[in-house]
Amino acid sequence: MEWTEQWKHQGLQQGLQQGLQQGEAALFLRLAELRFGPLSADTRHRIESADAETLLRWGENLLSAGSLDEVFSEP
């Protein structure tokens, strides 16, 4: 019985992480479009498939970037 509980817990954790990433991506997309206008399909896909840490870094860049390219640039 213990291994089934462990699988359930692991599945729940993965679901929570995926939901968090999707929410962060949705917020980032909205803010980027408000700042820079409509985004290309490729850019939208890039954002939607980014991990949470990358989205946080890009979000910080979004505050001071003059262009979308600057948002995605690495320091």
Residues 6 or more apart whose Cβ sits within 8 Å of residue 65: 71
Predicted model pTM = 0.76
Residue ranges of the chain with per-residue pLDDT less than 70: 1, 75
Predicted local confidence at residue 19, as pLDDT: 74
Helix, strand, coil share (%) of the chain residues, nearest 5: 80, 0, 20
**What confidence score (pLDDT) does residue 18 get?**
78
